[in-house]
Amino acid sequence: MTIGGSIALIIIGAILAYAVEFDISGLDIRVVGFILMVGGLIGLVIGVARIASARRRTAAPPAAVREEYYEEPPARRPRY
């Protein structure tokens, strides 16, 4: 889940929990809103942790690689 998706879940959950005055038999809209907000918060924490760990991994500059190649000198022709 991305950070944007997590924020959207938090917003939708808050709207359902605090602003909607609608009754459905067998379903409490406030509880659904709180569940969405908790899910959004968990997703937000996981998303931020993933971004922080990815930045930490790429923050160190890569080690310089030095490659040396040895070339055989050309073979000497015998003198006659």
In 3D, which of 56, 13, 61 has the Cα closest to residue 33?
A: 13
Residue 54 pLDDT > 90 = no
> What secondary structure does DSSP assign to 14-79, as a single string?
HHHHHT----BTTB-HHHHHHHHHHHHHHHHHHHHHHHHHHHHHHHSPPPP-------PPPPPPPP
Instruction: Express each pLDDT in 29-53 by its tens digit.
Output: 999 999 999 999 999 999 999 988 8
Instruction: Express each pLDDT in 56-65 by its tens digit.
Output: 665 556 677 7
Burial class (CB in 10 A: 0-12, 13-18, 19+), 37: buried
